[in-house]
Amino acid sequence: MNLTGAAKLWLIAAVLPAFFWTTVSAADFSGEISDVKGTVEILKEGSDAWANAVEGMPAQPKDRIKTWRSSSCCLEFDDGSLIYVSENSQASIEFLELSEEKHSSKISLWVGKLLAKIAKSKETKMEIHTPVSVNSVRGTEFAVETTGEKSEIGVFEGKVSVKGSDDLSGEEIDLLADQQTSVPKGMKPERPQALQEAMLRNRERMTEIRARVARLKERLKRLPPEERMKARRVALEKYSAYREKIRDRNIDIKKRRQQLREHRHHQENK
């Protein structure tokens, strides 16, 4: 898909029964990063050092995620929801709160592509933000793609209401299953149309996403919450140790560069 824009989306999804659920707050790590392939980096709140993601580390509010070429990962949540982050993407988790009856989350997609399958609960509000469009999603399966000046939204199940974030008319359109639209920057959404080739490929990927969700549900039933939390803390410790090594290395490089500049300055002034 040839896109040129970052987009702003509000996604409100209806989702599957969480028969495996035990209430876990976001502070207790109610999601994790999984299926890490290639180079996937995480930037934690308050840090200036990107570091490689560790399989199973918690997905926490204010985490920023970057996938490089031929790289991807999944965000898995304890209510059975899953978001696939495609290659060459940047996204961040702005807010996350899960309970037995509620899924509340906000994701920013700065560039790239997300595919999502969201579990049903009694109260679900999921928002995906990018600067070009505002989308209210009532459905469990969808894709969002953006690269700066244009947003593409495709629905595979459910309904999505779409409007341009900078369009003063506020005109909104509804997308039904197997429909898509484009939202150029500063303009209203284009008329709904049948899924085109690129979005059809995204729909085909949903078969794989559904299989991953099925495996996630089995794992959630098999592993009690305390074991999941313990494993995520261990993974987070590994990530933190790796990040500290990168920080120390960067400090060392900076010192060496400063020493080299001082040496050159000394030689020039002899």
Per-residue pLDDT in tens (0 to 9) along the chain, 270 residues: 554 444 444 443 333 333 333 434 444 578 999 999 999 999 999 888 899 999 999 999 999 999 999 999 999 999 999 999 999 999 999 999 888 788 888 899 999 999 999 887 778 788 888 888 777 767 689 999 998 789 999 999 988 888 887 777 778 889 999 999 999 988 899 999 999 999 999 999 999 999 999 999 999 999 999 999 999 999 999 999 988 888 788 787 888 888 788 767 777 776
pLDDT, residue 23, reads 39
Tokens matching residue 237: 């410790």
The pLDDT value recorded for residue 250 is 78
CA distances from 267 to 86, 257, 258, 262 (A): 50, 15, 14, 9
Q: List, in order of start, the domains of the chain with CATH numbers.
A: 26-268 (2.60.120.1440)
**Which region holds residue 201: left if phi is over 0, alpha if psi is between -120 and 50, else beta?**
alpha
Would you state the pLDDT for residue 21? Answer: 38
What local confidence, expressed as pLDDT, does residue 4 receive? 47
Q: Residue 153 class from Cβ within 10 Å (0-12 exposed, 13-18 middle, 19+ buried)?
A: buried
pTM equals 0.82
- The amino acid sitting at 65 is I
